[in-house]
Amino acid sequence: MFTIKAHNISKRYTYRLFSNISFTVSTGQSIAIVGPNGSGKSTLLKIIGSIVFPDTGSVEYFNHQDAIPAGNVFHYTGIVAPYIQCYNQLTLTENINFAFGAVTQDAITLIKRLDLYQHKDRMLHTYSTGMLQRAKIAMALLKKPPVLLLDEPGSNMDEYGRTILFEIIKEISSHTAIVVATNDSREANICQRSINLATSVVA
């Protein structure tokens, strides 16, 4: 059981983004971060992933009962976001080898599922934007993380790709803590709860 506990999180840049956000999400649970553009969805996701620190409040991480230092959280998280990139001058096979040491049967099964197998030996800079998004999803999932952080995960993907993504999220939901930052109601609706940054309400 992996658990993330956020306590009264606040963040501002030149203006206040959000304040006093508190929630808990654990293995088998999912939560969507929703709100208008500029409300801080991506920033809150980065705070949850210990990429950005809050101005006030705190985030705690637990693997079972053991506290996890914020600096080690990346070992437990898979992230799909615009600011997380694969190596575009390498092929998908080379990216997997570089990150994980080998292309396992699990990797082959997943990239086939994401309709990327026939493109596995092409350099990523030749991929379409939708294919690149599926490649990032593959790299995040191959880590088999207990926490999956998704920032607009269906962006640049067609309906076929989105359908595959939603199916995979449903399949891993029982053994993964999932946080989705999105403006897409379909992506928000796959989650059990939501945080509305426009109102600071956790429902």
Rounded Cα gap, residues 33 and 44, in angstroms: 8
CA distance 203 to 194: 5
> Edge to edge, what strands does the sheet with 193-196 contain?
77-80, 147-151, 177-181, 30-34, 193-196, 201-202
Domain ranges of the chain: 2-202
> Lowest mean pLDDT: which of 10-19, 69-78, 144-153, 157-166?
10-19
pTM of the model as a whole: 0.94
At 17, the pLDDT band (50, 70, 90 cuts) reads confident
Q: Which CATH superfamily is domain 2-202 in?
A: P-loop containing nucleotide triphosphate hydrolases (3.40.50.300)
Helix (H, G, I), strand (E, B) or coil at 100: helix
Report pLDDT for 13.
84
Mean pLDDT of the chain: 94
| Sheet containing strand 2-12, strands side by side | 16-26, 2-12, 56-63, 66-67
**Rounded to an integer, what distance in angstroms lies between the CA atom of residue 193 and that of residue 163?**
21
Mean pLDDT of 147-176: 95
3 state DSSP class of 108: helix
pLDDT over 90 at 32, yes or no: yes
Burial 56-70 (b: 16+ CB within 10 A, else e): ebebebeeeeeebee
How much is the average pLDDT of 122-146?
97
| Segment 69-90, tens digit of pLDDT | 989 999 999 999 999 999 999 9
Q: What is the pLDDT of residues 175-188, one digit of tens each?
A: 999 999 999 999 99
Query: Do 124 and 87 form a contact (C-beta atoms < 8 A)?
Result: yes
